[in-house]
Amino acid sequence: MTSTPEHSGGRADLYASLERLRQRRLNEDERLVCMERARLLEASCRQHTHLPRPRRQAAILRDLCEQTTPLVDPEDVLLGRVPQTLPNADEEAFIAAHPELFVDPGLPGCLDSLSIFVPDWGWLLTAGLSGLAGEAREALADADEAGREFLTAAVEAIEALSTLVRRYAAAARDAGLPSAAARCDRVASEPPATFAEALQLLQITHTALSVLIGGRDVTPGRMDQYLLPLYRRDLAEGRLDREEAMALLALFMLGLTQAAGNGTDFDDNLRRSPCRYSHFYVTIGGTAEDGGPAGNELSLVILDAVDLLDYKEPTVLVRYRADLAPQLKQRVAELIIARRPVTLYNDPVVLRGLERQGVPGHVAWDYAHSACHNVLVPGHDAASGPGFHNLPAMLLQALEREDDASFDRLMELFAEEMRSALRAARRAAEWRWEHELREACPLLQSALMRHSIRRARPCWLSADQSHYNHSAMGLATTVDSLIAIRELVCGPRAEMSLADLRGVLAADWAGHEELRRRVRTQLPRYGRDDLPAVELARRVGEMWVEEVERASEGMARLRMWPAFYSHMVHAREGRATPATPDGRRCGDPLSENQSPSMGTLNCSPTSVLRAMADLPVDHTPSGASTLTLSPRDLSPERLLGMLETYFGLGGLHLHLTVADPETLRAALREPDRYADLMVRVAGFSAYFTRLEPYVQQDVLNRYLA
């Protein structure tokens, strides 16, 4: 790497290129669109719509790979960019008439796509594109007619990707980048032989999956595992040093977000792109196949690359074990305090959760999380997705059913509401399987999953399993509401009937301010060391796990896994949820993830962590918990002590925002001055000043308890 003509300055050149590209990304106009891709896709779909589904996917992908302009500038190191332009008036009219070409993954009814999935990157790097195609050709001999049609199309898809890589090689030669051209020429057919070649193959493949085909949240997965052999070889043979590897990784990470936009999610992401608001997790650490710790020297380089990049994506997801190397633990803590995008899962708890959900241990060890905290096992899963369930709304429905229900009866009614919602969710999943996914053929995505090639079927059919997370949302709002009901209506000192309470809620607590104050300040609350709240949270959590697992019984596909997670949906759902018995007013956000309700007094970090650790998370491989800490007196040692205690108690996950309310308020007043202020939102990082106002307030409210 140090001797390449286009980067004769070695790491200094790489760092300079990284900073220029980073600034260009930060300053991108959010109106940019991939107009060329949309025009090509429209024409190709029209031309090939008559073909059978697998052949149609292959033909459209071939057109995209053969005709998309491979964009290369002299400062590029890793290639994979495609043209994005500001649309003129005529093009804006075209966009308005064809929004599906700009915002939908793939093209509904024509080009099948896949989001929230982890390709088998290790297989790609080991076999190379020619090896993948070779395995597909070998599988043809034993395939049935449908399998032969699929495998033939899969070979065409791999060859189309190889063509795209060669076209980048030609563009690099034209731009005076012979080393970049040589890397592309090699990986167009052969397995990568160097660390830089591996990153180059990954970059262009990711571009094809996320930008050309159009798929959100195409996850890099366990980079410290599948890149480690090439990293060690390059270091041993003098082709690369640690700092160059770190810069190359940072450049690769920046390339992941091409066309995704600088917004975070949904409302504040204005990008018209099929991969908009994608979130990328790079997983490090965890467990090796032999059961030992998998963290290594490349794990540390990846952490340093994220620090060097200093961008909101990707998030480094640390599979945390007690025996993680001390140097890795220290660096993780330092990056959290520096507000870099780092999140942590308790690896033994996730592995127990996976086995509880039917994933055998001999494959579970290789899991990686994708967006929305969906856990996937490359080579075992297809893809996943989230489902969110409003627990406070279910509780309000239960309150309407009987006037004289005891507390235990009310809990039975609440469980029935859960059951009803989950039955509806199962019916929706089964409908989707029968009418959409059973026949879907996300071709290149399937060609990058070994089980698809070996079983000669698209990934949804060939995967050992597939699942969707079904996340309970508003947990603390629900628990605090149940405590209020038990104290005010059902307890020995009851002071009103259920009908009276319904009247208070219908009035949105108007005229009942003193009662509301007592509910919010004098009753036990989730997140404090209040035993009634801890016990009730455990009871509600176990109810949810039991009902989700019951609803999933007998499902062969799209199985239902329980979780406790809200993403950012708790704020939007709160707008439509009436007042709740915990003192929350109509329209206020529900509680977030596994955290206490906003405004809960006398919560300490340790009491919050104890409450979250007591939930039945050994059934939930996915989920999220958010904790906000002040930077005052926060050292890496104190932070690590907190993490060790929390995970030792059995907590599942933690992501932390380290900031203070004064800084956030200043950012609201002077957004330009604080443009790079990064906060944790719901499992990913975001620039605080770019968030929608209601999300900014939700983040700020974490400090106001």
Is 300 strand, coil or helix? Answer: helix
* Residues 540/391, Cβ–Cβ less than 8 Å: yes
Do the Cβ atoms of 53 and 439 come closer than 8 Å? Answer: yes
Whether 315 maps to a domain, the answer reads: yes
650 and 700 together in one domain: yes
Kindly state whether residue 619 falls inside one of the protein's structural domains: no
CB 296 within 8 A of CB 62: no
Asked if residue 370 belongs to a domain, the reply is yes
Residue 118's closest CA among 456, 313, 366? 366
* Total count of domains within the chain: 3
- Residue 640 has φ and ψ, to the nearest 5°, of -65, -35
249 within some domain: no
Nearest to 253 by CA among 194, 178, 304, 184: 304
Whole-angstrom distance, CA of residue 125 vs CA of residue 132: 10
Do residues 233 and 362 share a domain? no
Q: Does residue 57 contact residue 293 with C-beta atoms inside 8 Å?
A: no
Return the biggest CA–CA distance within the chain: 83
Instruction: Decide if 221 contacts 317 (C-beta within 8 A).
Output: no
Helix or strand run (H / E) with residue 15: helix 11-26
- Asked whether residue 219 is domain-assigned, the answer is yes
In a domain, 610, yes or no: no
Cβ pair 621, 352 in contact under 8 A: no
Q: Does residue 613 lie in a domain region?
A: no
Tell me which amino acid residue 680 is: R
Query: Rounded to an integer, what distance in angstroms lies between the CA atom of residue 386 and that of residue 379?
Result: 20
Whole-prediction pTM:
0.94
Give a yes or no: residue 410 inside a domain: yes
Range of the domain at 13: 1-240+257-270
Residues 398 and 461 in one domain: yes
Domain check: are 308 and 445 in the same one? no
Measured between alpha carbons, how far is 143 from 515 in angstroms, rounded to an integer? 70
pLDDT < 50 regions, the chain = 1-5, 705
Q: Which two tokens stand for residue 606?
A: 């340790």
Alpha helices in 98-227 (DSSP H): 100-103, 121-139, 145-174, 178-187, 195-207, 223-226
Q: What is the pLDDT of residue 266?
A: 57
Q: Calculate the dihedral angle through the C-alpha atoms of 214, 217, 218, 221, rounding to the nearest 10 degrees.
A: 180
Task: Identify the pLDDT of residue 326.
Answer: 97
In terms of domains, do 396 and 377 share one? no
Query: Could you give the CA distance from residue 43 to residue 697 in angstroms, rounded to a whole number?
Result: 45
User: What's the confidence (pLDDT) of residue 5?
Assistant: 44
Residues in contact with 451: Cβ distance below 8 Å, sequence separation at least 6, in sequence order: 379, 380, 459, 462, 463, 464
Q: Which of 555, 571, 604 is the last residue of a domain?
A: 604
Q: Is the CB of residue 253 less than 8 Å from the CB of residue 309?
A: yes
- 427 and 310 share one domain: no
- As a whole number of angstroms, the distance between CA 322 and CA 313 comes to 26
Each residue's pLDDT tens digit, 390-399: 999 999 999 9
Same domain, 324 and 368: yes
**Length of the chain in terms of residues written:** 705
- Do 535 and 462 lie in one domain? The reply is yes
Q: Are residues 470 and 554 in the same domain?
A: yes
- Residue 5 preceded by cis peptide, ω within 30: no
Structure tokens at 300: 């540390």
Domain boundary among 575, 604, 633: 604
Rounded CA-CA distance 371/391 in Å is 22
Q: Could you tell me if 561 and 354 are in contact, meaning their C-beta atoms sit under 8 angstroms apart?
A: no
The alpha-helical segments, DSSP class H, found in 553-603 are 569-576
> Which of 571, 604, 637 is where one domain is finished?
604
Joined together, the tokens standing for residue 23 give: 């600034």
- Tell me the pLDDT tens digit for each residue of 292-347: 999 999 999 999 999 999 998 999 999 999 999 999 999 999 999 999 999 999 99
Tell me how far apart the alpha carbons of residues 226 and 521 are, in angstroms, rounded to a whole number: 52
Alpha-carbon gap, residue 371 to 219, rounded angstroms: 8
Do 362 and 444 reside in the same domain of the chain? no
Residues 583 and 668 in one domain: no
Cα 562 off chain centre by: 17
Same domain, 641 and 541: no
Query: Quick one: CA dihedral 398, 401, 403, 404, positive or negative?
Result: negative
